[in-house]
Structure 1
Amino acid sequence: MNFSELFELSGLLGRFSPDGKCLASCVQHRLVVRDVSSLQVCQLYTCLDKIQYIEWSSDSLFILCAMYKRGIVQVWSLEQPDWHCKIDEGSAGLVASCWSPDGRHILNTTEFHLRITVWSLCTKSVSYIKYPKACQQGVVFTKDGRYMAVAERRDCKDFISIFVCSNWQLLRHFDTETQDLFGIEWAPNGCVLAAWDSCLEYKLLLYSLDGRLLSSYRAYEWPLGIKSVAWSPSSQFLAIGSFDEKVRILNHVTWKKITEFEHPATIASKKTIVYKEVEKSPSVETERLSFPPTKALASSLFSTQSKYEISQVPVSLQYIKPVADRANPKVGVGMLAFSADNCFLATKNDSIPNAVWVWDIRRLKLLVVLEQLCPIQGFQWDPRQPRLALCTGTSRVFLWSPAGCVAVQVPGEGDFQIVSLSWHSSGDSMVLLSKDNCCVCYLEREEVK
């Protein structure tokens, strides 16, 4: 592994372009675009205020910068640096902004979710979508970019509208059997739309493109319900993470549960491998010591290194009992992600914050548990092969694949605490983000035998 130097960053805003050629990062009100191969600055843009959100267009030719506090979106062109666009929502305010799949329309959601405004960069025309619902995931596009689903709330009832993205015409509008619609998500094949209720009611609904209810699923009735949802890349499986610390897998034929995965605090099965992160202080030969020591030697003297060891089962994981009388209790499966080849599912139970669970979807069983020293901040699968990267708010990045585990220290002076990471589309590199800095991690490509 090789690492670039650290670059200044604000707001965790560092994004690879969809074509993989550029890396955009923000420093307060400045947008810096670098060439991925050399990391040389190829464009530098100055916005009107501190940037709070950035997003590349699907063809990597434009990038939008949203300044929610001022209700402004600025759009920059990589091909024509002198061209730029400013969208001012004025007194309506701005709480969310995103690209349409064609990369030529911008969807702005106004304050209080009064409407979504669709701005065309080509014709300068404007369209409006009324009554968008304020929920975690209320605007979603099919993977092929043909359709958009919008969660709506009107007359104290939940609805879903499906639009054709080519002309923004309404295709279907139907009400949902939810008390308080919390999120919607298209299957990757674009044939089925999943919608789920808030955590107070366990209900998941599956709709066809024409608005027909295909199936509904409810695992139990009274306790807190659904916390996270994830489709497999093949659209064959739908994983539901719940507040009862279980993941339930539905199949795409009958939409019935085929299995459920539990997350106990004690791992007893001998068929499960438990990798435990351990810290050790590096040993330095006294013959090599020079006074005053060099910077590199001084940093290695006082830094600790970490590695993985295989624990003997049974293993007791660190379990944090949730505080029952507080909102948003740290309990339940809050993170889910399928590998690109559909073979593995990674999960995190928020009551066991230091562990990541990797499940074998082909055999429907627990394969590996990674027990870290610090709480998991995030994880993401390599887009090309079954390789999982995770970070824990330390200066280390951790990788798991069926071949094993590795912990890698990011070199450099200062405290670089990685709280987020994102893979390059090729799977050859990652951008590692901390609160104030970012760097690019280059991985050696494994030869296919």
Structure 2
Amino acid sequence: MDFTEIYKQTGSLVAFSPGTHFILTAVESRLIIRSSESFEIKRTWLLDPTPSGSTASLSKPKSVRVSSEHKNFAISHIGWSCDSEYILAACAKNGVVHVFKLRDEEWNARIDCGAEGLVKAIWAPDGRTILCFSEWGLRVTVWSLVTGASICIQYPLYPDRGYAFRADGRYFVLAERHRSKDTLGLYDASESYKLVRHFPLPTSSLASFALSPTGNHLAVWEGQLEYRLFIVTLAGVTLASFSPEPEPVLGIRQVAWHPSGHFLAVAGWDDKVHILDSLSWSPVITFELSSKISSEVAIWREPSLEAGRGFLSYERLRGPQTITLNKKAGASQLEWNQTGSLLLVRFGEYFSRTLRIILIHQKRLHHASLHIYSFPEGTRSDDTFSCPLQTIILSSQPILQAHWNPTRRGSLAFCCGNRRISTFSNEWEGESGEEEEMVESIAIPTEEFNTRDICWSADGKGFILMDKATFCCAFEVEE
């Protein structure tokens, strides 16, 4: 694996272009575009620090005077259009969204938000429309680069969740709050976001929702105090509800649709993962975190990082094992691979100070673990449903991020906030000619870099590694 040099970034704002030919970076008030092959700078823009008229008028005189300093209004959001032709850079504190064109360095556009402020800006799937979320949940403003016109959708529930586009980009689904009730709005993106329908949701305090890959169903769930999930159609019909018995003390933490849309994984704070099917919307199987692991499960333990640099293989534990668990906190991540044949469940454990000292002395302390369940096609029958635990990866440090390769079904990368990156693959060819698993820890060739986040390229051949204020890229070496 080859690593690039270390480059500056601000706010973890680094992104591959959809075609993976360029890398967009924000450094305070400057946008930088590099070639993903040579890392040569292709374009750079320094943003105008002037705030929108409403932001300036509402600010105190002292704030207006310091607005000329770029560092006080750093870029807060960036994004590529779907065809890599346009780039947006939002300055939430300024209430401004800047738009640039990759092939024309002189072309630019500017969106000034009103007195409602700005907390987030994103591209719509068509690549010519920008959605701006205001402060206080007042509205979403939809701006068209083609016509220059805008429309407003009132009272979005959240700026960071509770909205989705259907896979074909035709409909925009938004969770809203009207007259103190959870409501869902369906808008036709092809008809200038014309309202198709409004309907109330069965929740009393919506936490979020997940739109199925087929675009036919919504999984909506309550806040953290109630473990209750509902399946709703885009016509507003509630098909089913799910709440395990006995109901856990806390609510739902993670929800993930199977890529086919036929199954739904639901996890709370009780270390159980329920798999619902689309026929009955009831659990067909439930996974529960257990300390006793059979010999059929591949268990990989992190090597001693002081043992060397470069590539270090995880240790494969043989035979039945017992993993020390304490004060469980549930699944912090559910993620299917691209084919839906594997389900990643990331667990984290918390330890008291006394127990931590004992486990360190016994060399049995594991801050976090990745559990990989096999989900092969054709396992469903009228009587049985099998989804065995295939692999457990144990880490002595908290696992901050873990993501599947977007193009390869058995490739995974994860990081633990240190100077290494770890990879899992079940595509290695063994001596017998069959595919085998391999888990490796790879040192990043620099002294001052702690990997805190991972972002795969669209082609799955490399990824971006991010620290607090820097980033680098890693690419597979083709033999």
Amino acid in the other structure paired with 1:216: S
**1:76 lines up with 2:100 in the alignment:** yes
| 1:159-198 to 2 correspondences below 5 Å | 159-167=183-191, 168-198=193-223
1:89 and 1:256 mapped to 2: Cα distance? 45
1:53 and 1:396 mapped to 2: Cα distance? 27
Q: Which residue pairs with 1:307 in the alignment?
A: 313
Q: Which residue pairs with 1:246 in the alignment?
A: 272
Q: Which residue pairs with 2:360 in the alignment?
A: none
> Residue 76 of structure 2 contacts residue 89 of structure 2 at CA under 8 Å; is this kept in 1?
yes
Amino acid in the other structure paired with 1:344: L
**TM-align CA RMSD:** 1.9
Q: Which residue pairs with 1:28 in the alignment?
A: 28
SS at match of 1:166: helix
Give the deviation of 1:351 after TM superposition. Answer: 2.6
* Structure 1 pair 16–371 and aligned structure 2 pair: CA distance change class (3 A): same
- Taking every aligned residue pair, what percent have the same amino acid on both sides? 32
* TM-score when normalising by structure 2: 0.83
SS at match of 2:115: helix
Q: Which residue pairs with 2:298 in the alignment?
A: 273
1:242 and 1:382 mapped to 2: Cα distance? 25
Give the deviation of 1:350 after TM superposition. Answer: 3.0
Q: Which residue pairs with 2:37 in the alignment?
A: 37
> Residue 312 of structure 2 contacts residue 440 of structure 2 at CA under 8 Å; is this kept in 1?
yes
1:411 and 1:206 mapped to 2: Cα distance? 44
1:101 and 1:389 mapped to 2: Cα distance? 27
SS at match of 2:93: helix
Q: Which residue pairs with 2:374 in the alignment?
A: 360
| 1:26-425 to 2 correspondences below 5 Å | 26-47=26-47, 48=49, 49-134=73-158, 137-167=161-191, 168-220=193-245, 221=247, 223-264=249-290, 266-282=291-307, 306-317=312-323, 319-321=325-327, 331-351=329-349, 353-362=367-376, 363-385=386-408, 386-402=410-426, 403-425=436-458
* Structure 1 pair 32–318 and aligned structure 2 pair: CA distance change class (3 A): farther
1:374 and 1:157 mapped to 2: Cα distance? 42
1:136 and 1:223 mapped to 2: Cα distance? 26
* Structure 1 pair 90–31 and aligned structure 2 pair: CA distance change class (3 A): same
* TM-score when normalising by structure 1: 0.89
Give the deviation of 1:442 after TM superposition. Answer: 0.7
Q: Which residue pairs with 2:471 in the alignment?
A: 438
> Residue 266 of structure 2 contacts residue 273 of structure 2 at CA under 8 Å; is this kept in 1?
yes
Give the deviation of 1:135 after TM superposition. Answer: 6.8
SS at match of 1:376: coil
Amino acid in the other structure paired with 2:202: E
How many pairs are equivalent? 418
> Residue 133 of structure 2 contacts residue 159 of structure 2 at CA under 8 Å; is this kept in 1?
no
Amino acid in the other structure paired with 1:158: D
1:169 and 1:185 mapped to 2: Cα distance? 22
1:244 and 1:445 mapped to 2: Cα distance? 43
SS at match of 1:90: coil
| Structure 1 residues 326-380: Cα deviation after superposition (integer angstroms, max 9, x where no partner) | xxxxx22121100001100001123364211111112401111101121000011
* Structure 1 pair 445–216 and aligned structure 2 pair: CA distance change class (3 A): farther
1:136 and 1:243 mapped to 2: Cα distance? 21
SS at match of 1:91: coil
1:61 and 1:116 mapped to 2: Cα distance? 24
Following TM superposition, the consecutive aligned residue runs of length 4 or more in structure 1 with deviations greater than 6 angstroms are none
Quick check: 47-56 or 103-112, which moved more?
Answer: 47-56
> Residue 396 of structure 1 contacts residue 407 of structure 1 at CA under 8 Å; is this kept in 2?
no
Q: Which residue pairs with 2:4 in the alignment?
A: 4
Amino acid in the other structure paired with 2:227: Y
Give the deviation of 1:381 after TM superposition. Answer: 0.5
1:337 and 1:394 mapped to 2: Cα distance? 23
Give the deviation of 1:133 after TM superposition. Answer: 0.7
Amino acid in the other structure paired with 2:372: V
1:344 and 1:166 mapped to 2: Cα distance? 35
1:280 and 1:87 mapped to 2: Cα distance? 49
| Structure 1 residues 97-137: Cα deviation after superposition (integer angstroms, max 9, x where no partner) | 11111111111111101111111111111101011113751
